[in-house]
Structure 1
């Protein structure tokens, strides 16, 4: 088989397997390789390669006598664009939404501060362009979500921090995940647009402290609305103190 064709086939099988996993088609343990090969109409070599790629991403675990077990999503390697995309396909639960917001609060305010200090003129223009596009659109328009994602990911990219830049896939997935939850809230657009304007203006003014504060406020707005839709669970165990609900939604 042509190498490019085989690689494409492996990617297609991986995508199909992941869809089955997030849709809970297989339960806790995958069927044997020969069964999966027949299901996807591919050779065992292709199936073995696809499974090995998922193993490398900590999505599967092979154990003697028990077969190929599907690992909890919390074990998946999220710093991997494919895995990030796959993880965000699953219907979000309370804990996942809480973790998404906590991640954003850790990364995006600091990224905004760094962007204010380090962004190139072209990056500043790109951030402003994304905001101008966003401010001209209504939430129901198809381009709105794309403009929102562009604004936030461009700010993270403009931080100049290579680790932050590697996390743009998570930021993108986080925005896409919460969008259906908050898009129907009448006051949401104006509240977020005002906060986004403050972020963009602070970055343009090279005011790192103001950019960081404004981004924190922006995520807090989203966290408050998501928190109304999903009551975040508190972790009350002996190993850690309870997390204040306001902090779990925006800290």
Structure 2
């Protein structure tokens, strides 16, 4: 396998994440990433506004706005006497698109991939089975077109990411469950990172596995749709693990 680890680490859609166009948006991403990746520890008190503002080269106003955003994401807590402190990890909003994107850039992504696959296993097989029963004609056509577009992208991993997202998000929406439907958008950045770990050969091999899910949904067979999605997610876990393992080996050799 020939794969660019840095490219995979930085992969995200950018559609759901917080904008970096403003100064406070840049603070959000830089400070948030440091916290989520462990460069700033849980419970650690941040420097005062003067020091922190100087380190980011931004005004106090921009810094305060950035901290407000990170506070809303559950990463920070501000107190008048004790200052701004990093909240315990279990209090973070782990389904926040930015936090998911930052987690995908962590120094050791294995835990992230494991959590992502387990989360998808809990959600997507159910969504597929429901879609087989509830999907409208329009929703079936949407999922089918997403599959055709994946196939048309062929070995081009980057071109295949967007239709792959549409395929999985379309199934979540077709489930008819209003709690399941938004999950695709929430984890979009994480899915993008996972999809871009695929090599061209892996991408081609995944088409029949996706097709089995599509066929079961089109056939209105909920049990087959459930089982086919479990198989697809198992395939994704296997190639993610293999690619990450090879990347670590290559980094060890280069070091």
TM over 0.5: yes
Structure 1 Cα separation of the partners of residues 143 and 65 of structure 2: 40
Report the alpha carbon displacement of residue 227 of structure 1 after superposing the two structures with TM: 3.6
After TM superposition, list the pairs within 5 Å mapping 1:36-75 onto structure 2: 36-62=52-78, 67-71=83-87, 73-75=89-91
Distance change in 2, residues 1:124/1:18 (3 Å): same
Distance change in 2, residues 1:73/1:145 (3 Å): farther
Aligned CA RMSD, in angstroms, stands at 2.9
Structure 2 Cα separation of the partners of residues 205 and 212 of structure 1: 13
Unaligned runs of 5+ in 1: 1-6, 232-251
The match for 1:17 is 31
Structure 2 Cα separation of the partners of residues 23 and 110 of structure 1: 31
8 Å contact kept, 1:109–1:215: yes
Distance change in 2, residues 1:141/1:79 (3 Å): closer
Structure 1 Cα separation of the partners of residues 225 and 30 of structure 2: 42
Output the TM-score relative to the length of structure 2.
Answer: 0.74
8 Å contact kept, 1:108–1:215: yes
Q: Does 1:163 align with 2:191?
A: no
Spell out, residue by residue over 1:42-73, the C-alpha distance to the aligned partner (whole angstroms, 9 max, x if none).
44244223212212221124468764333455
After TM superposition, list the pairs within 5 Å mapping 1:1-251 onto structure 2: 8-22=22-36, 28-62=44-78, 67-71=83-87, 73-183=89-199, 186=201, 188-229=202-243
Report the alpha carbon displacement of residue 91 of structure 1 after superposing the two structures with TM: 4.4
Structure 1 Cα separation of the partners of residues 187 and 38 of structure 2: 25
Distance change in 2, residues 1:80/1:190 (3 Å): same
Structure 2 Cα separation of the partners of residues 105 and 144 of structure 1: 22
Structure 2 Cα separation of the partners of residues 43 and 227 of structure 1: 43
The match for 1:238 is none
Instruction: Point out which structure has higher relative CO (alpha carbons under 8 A, 6+ apart).
Output: 2
Report the alpha carbon displacement of residue 92 of structure 1 after superposing the two structures with TM: 4.8
Structure 1 Cα separation of the partners of residues 203 and 99 of structure 2: 30
For residue 69 of structure 1, give the secondary structure of its aligned residue in structure 2.
strand
Moved more, 111-120 or 34-43: 34-43
Distance change in 2, residues 1:100/1:23 (3 Å): closer
Moved more, 188-197 or 130-139: 188-197
Unaligned runs of 5+ in 2: 1-20, 246-255
